[in-house]
Structure 1
Amino acid sequence: MSTEQSIHWLDWGDEAFQRSLSEEKPVLLALTATWCHWCHVMDQTSYSHPEVISLVDSRFVPVRVDVDQRPDLSHRYNQGGFPSVAVLDHQGELITGRIYTPPEEMVQFLEQVSSRYPETGEADGHPGDEATPVPAAAPSAGEPGSEVTSVLQRMEEMYDATYGGFGYEPKQPPWDGVGLLLARYGHTRDRNLLRMATTTLDGIQVGLYDRNDEGFFRYSVSRDWKVPHYEKMLCTNASLAVTYLDAYQLTGRRAYRKAGLGAIKYMQSILFDQPAGLFYAS
């Protein structure tokens, strides 16, 4: 594909955000990885679609980041899997985002976001020019702040009541989201939060847990978790080991204990380099 027919990506840095401010355009951040199958699919489909290219180059400041080179940006802006698409204002604040999106949906998404900017972000003025906000009342002990409440509401909207998890295929194991649900259940004893967490954990264990060699596969190509992408990552297994053992402590379900310990066993036996004292990433 020629340069004229592709998105003109920038590196993460001051240039991109200065352009966002001066041109009053949001930043479109693409989080990708060389090992990510769906990242390559999105490059070959959505990011190669003429209308997507036109919209991105005319209405956004496009920035592309390899998550292995910038794990800090991956941690901050990951939308639940890879590829992640995050829309930011000129100060780097997240406006909205999503994971893999096919071309037709991507066109709609780009049109909707760009038509509402800067109302959706904070593009007016310069950093430090904003009026001093009135401090919100501190939540009482055990009560979540407004940010946590907003996240929980969004999770309920995206929750897949049939198979667990959030959104549709491809489906990434949402260990941070499940951890939040478990933590809030510990405070509130809200059975709905526990149901969301356990349905998700049950689906992941059925579809992504390797019963032969133990450990978890990276993600599912299908909504029901049963078509895994056959790759095992250190970050996936470390995060899910913690999540499943936390769930075991909260619920007493032995299946969660077995899964958590199995993930640890896999990391120690397969991913750990004894002479070097280091773990392989995958």
Structure 2
Amino acid sequence: MSRLAEAQSSYLRSAAHQPIDWYEFGEEAFAKAKELDRPLLLDIGAVWCHWCHVIDRESYEDPEIAELINDNYIAVKVDRDQRPDIDARYQQAVMSLSGQGGWPLTGFLTYDGRLIHGGTYFPPHTMKALLTRIAEVYHAKKAEIFTDDQMLTDVMAAEHNQNRTQALQNALSNDAQEITPQVYQGILQSIRQSYDRYHHGFGQQPKFPHFSTLEFLITLEAQEPDTQNLEMIEKVLTAMAQGGIYDQIAGGFHRYSVDAEWHVPHFEKMAYDNAEALTVYAQAARQTKDERFKNLARETVLSTIAWVNRDLSDQTQGGFYASQDADINLEDDGDHFTWTIDEVKAILTSAEIELVLRYYDLTSGGDMHERPGRNVLWIKASLDANEQKLLTQVKEKMLAERLKRPIPFIDDTLYTNWNGMMICGYLEAAMLLDLSDAQAFALKSLDRILELFYQPNQAVLHTHGIPGVLEDYTWLAKANLKAYMVSGETRYLETAEDITNLVLTGFEDKEVGGFFDTKMDSNAVGLLKFRRKLLDDSPSSSANSIMLQVLNSLYTLTEKDIYNTSLKRALPSLTLETEGRGGFVAAFGLAIHQYLNPPLKLEIVGDSPELTEAAKKTFYPGKLLKYTSEASTPELRPCFGPRCLAPIRDLTALNTLLKESQLSRTH
């Protein structure tokens, strides 16, 4: 029986029938490679990845290729969602060697895990040639391979070798490393330079949402109003919500757009994208003065939550699933999500058909090159009030019809990091848009994740049996902070503190500051021996940046010096490390901004449901709520860092504070 038959990962189990003697990544595989003196073939993919399924069918199910692999290699298959630590290291290694990255990631390794050669998707004829040639070269020129390969390994080790640490220490000894607004202003300038003024978004095709960039801009706009920032926020969010990257019928965002116009997506839907989308669209709905945009942003939040509730969550027990695949099979190209004109005509009235063809720009040729006639729905026209009512009926009919089609595979794995993100998104939307059901389900989900994957005073797991990486700890800590603010339950604050203390013990670089993505592990194999500090917001906000935000929040709420000390130790070195990365470190820019501009803290004193609800609904990015049980006249005590203002005892006074402080643009 295949070793993968009982793997926890659905992606690995899907390969159990293949005629390849697959191993999971671990000591057993590397020991066997050393024993047999063979290189390893490393395949990293994901259950939602189209080209991963293609290479599986074309190469790994081919008897001739399978024989080449089994006779000459130790084959290792990795689920990148289950093991982001492995993926991050070998993505960097392959990128350094070949300039390529993505999935599937194909690597040829020495028996101690160093990269010989790598790339992404290889067609069958190329795969055969590579398998033959690398096996020959490995045995004929082994000494040269290990010598040359050492150079690539040094690239990985350089992130935390003594020379690099010393260089950072020398740089940090310079008094010029004071943290100033120029840090986040420089990131802002890079974002502006990458802004697509024609189609909106950042960069060119393929175009990704970059929600961390938008959250950074929303925070700046709330405190330092600027028409250019506001334009980027509203135009980008509108373009995405009206584009094909957004599922116009069921809600939820696809992973990215293959074109600059946001029309045709890669159809997989990821938990992390939709989690960060909820936060950004909810904040934007509260920030704007434009009623049309406000309605669009709110509707995007509500539709996304509706899709997640139906397809990407366990409504009975709590918890959020990982992803939805793009396709049903390899002949499919998003067919579940796309429409032909005939399919529309079969279920709608003549008036409804006319509306859909005009509103969504359906054509006989369609949008899909590989599937002529199939249309991605994206909004081209505007509608009046009566047409909007008709559109609501149309979407209900089209969704009901679509649900009769085969549904792309949903990976129901619970991952701590992505659950933390989704819980944060739900709770942010619940507070700002008054969504009690979303709040209740988010808290239910958090309690389940804590029960499954949190070991108090010990560790956080990534999923069942898999140690947590930094991202699991940081997002779970942030989710607990959000839960404390919406519920007032001190157990969530205490849990956030415990998780953060585990990070400070197991992940912090005590020499120069910042946080490694894994704990020290003397038994680590392959490139896992090298700990890394992940700084880029790819594919979601950097765990280091989220950790800085958590530290800042905890110090503000608890006034415990341990959090401020760690924060101040990290900021200078991470500022040096992020230089030149521009918009890819927007979450770091947000952390710097929050550090230099302390967010509003509202201390809730006494028992006043009216004041408590008003505090929750107050719009201010980064806002913190602290509950105090002292017997006192009910009031809110507003503070900005150490500067506190007069207590607030009624809603009129709260609104006055918001207006005078320019904290809200909508009250």
For Structure 1 versus Structure 2, the TM-score category normalised by the shorter chain is 0.5 to 0.7
Equivalent in the alignment of 2:81:
68
Change (3 A) 1:70 1:256: same
Return the letter of the residue paired with 2:258.
V
Partner of 1:264: 305
Deviation at 1:151, TM superposition (A): 2.1
Q: Give the drift of 1:197.
A: 1.7
Residue from 16, 32, 36 that aligns with 2:49: 36
Measure the CA separation in 2 of the matches of 1:73 and 1:249.
Answer: 39
Deviation by residue 1:222-246 (Cα, 9 ceiling, x = unmatched): 1100112222222221111111011
- Aligned pairs (5 A) from 1:130-279: 130=167, 131-132=169-170, 133=172, 134-135=174-175, 136-139=177-180, 143=181, 145-146=182-183, 148-207=184-243, 208-252=245-289, 253-279=294-320
Taking the aligned partners of 1:180 and 1:228, their CA distance within structure 2 comes to: 25
Distance in 1 between residues matched to 2:86 and 2:217, nearest whole Å: 24
Distance 1:138 1:217, change over 3 A: closer
Residue 39 of structure 1 deviates from its aligned partner by 7.7
Deviation per residue, 1:80-114 (Å, 9 max, x gap): xxxx97589xxxxxxxx9987xxxxx9xxxxxxxx
> How many Å apart are 1:37 and its aligned residue?
4.1
Structure with greater helix share of residues = 2
Contact 2:48–2:268 (8 Å) recurs in 1 = no
Q: Distance in 1 between matches of 2:215 and 2:298?
A: 15
Any conservation in 2 of the 1:209–1:216 contact (CA below 8 Å)? yes
Structure 1: runs of 5+ lacking an equivalent: 1-10, 12-30, 42-64, 78-83, 89-96, 101-105, 107-117
Q: What per-residue deviation string (whole Å, max 9, x for no partner) do you get for residues 114-163 of structure 1?
A: xxxx9xx9899614322532243343xxx4x51x2332222122211111
Aligned twin of 1:14? none
1:278: Cα distance to partner? 2.4
Q: Quick one: distance in 2 between partners of 1:272 and 1:235?
A: 13
Shift of 1:266: 1.2
Q: Secondary structure at the match of 2:166?
A: coil
Supply the distance in 1 between the matched residues of 2:276 and 2:160 (Cα, whole angstroms): 35
**Do the aligned partners of 1:238 and 1:264 also contact (CA within 8 Å) in 2?**
no
- The 4+ residue runs of structure 1 with deviation greater than 6 A are 38-41, 97-100, 121-125
Equivalence for 2:16: none
Alpha-carbon distance in 1 for matches of 2:235, 2:101:
21
Structure-2 separation of matches of 1:272 and 1:99: 30
Cα distance between partner residues in 2 of 1:214 and 1:73: 32
Q: Which digits, 9 at most, give the CA deviation of each residue in 1:33-75, with x for residues without a partner? A: 453347889xxxxxxxxxxxxxxxxxxxxxxx8641344688x
Partner of 1:62: none
Distance 1:219 1:167 in 2: 12
Q: CA deviation at 1:202?
A: 1.1
Question: In structure 1, what is the Cα distance between the partners aligned to 2:216 and 2:85?
Answer: 20
Offset at 1:182? 1.1
Q: Quick one: structure 1 residues 196 and 67, their matched pair in 2 at CA, closer, same or farther if it must change by over 3 Å?
A: farther
Q: Report what 2:446 is aligned to.
A: none
Supply the distance in 2 between the matched residues of 1:153 and 1:238 (Cα, whole angstroms).
26
Q: Which runs of 5+ in 2 are unaligned?
A: 1-24, 26-43, 55-77, 103-118, 120-154, 324-667
Q: Secondary structure in 2 aligned to 1:203?
A: helix
1:86–1:98 CA contact under 8 A, matched in 2: no
* Residue type at the aligned position of 1:261: L
**Residues 189-246 of structure 1: per-residue CA shift (max 9 Å, x gap):** 1111111122211111111222221222222111100112222222221111111011
Measure the CA separation in 2 of the matches of 1:267 and 1:240.
12
Compared CA separation, residues 32 and 126, structure 1 to 2 (3 A): farther
2:228 & 2:199 partners in 1: Cα distance? 15
Give the 3 Å change call, closer, same or farther, for CA 268–195 of structure 1 in structure 2.
same
Query: Which amino acid counterpart does residue 68 of structure 1 have in structure 2?
Result: D
Letter of the 2:312 partner, please give it: L
Measure the CA separation in 1 of the matches of 2:46 and 2:295: 35
The answer to whether the 8 Å contact 2:271/2:322 transfers is yes
Percent identical residues: 34
RMSD over aligned CA atoms reads 4.1
8 Å CA contact 1:175, 1:239 repeated in 2: yes
User: What is the Cα deviation at residue 270 of structure 1?
Assistant: 1.8
- The change in CA–CA distance for 1:154 and 1:260 in structure 2 (over 3 A counts) is same
- Offset of residue 166 of structure 1: 1.4
- TM normalised by structure 1 equals 0.57
> Matched residues in 2 for 1:237 and 1:194: separation?
22
Query: How do 1:17-36 and structure 2 match up within 5 A?
Result: 33=46, 35-36=48-49
Deviation digits for residues 8-39 of structure 1 (CA, Å, limit 9, x no counterpart) = xxx9xxxxxxxxxxxxxxxxxxx964533478
- 8 Å contact kept, 1:243–1:260: no
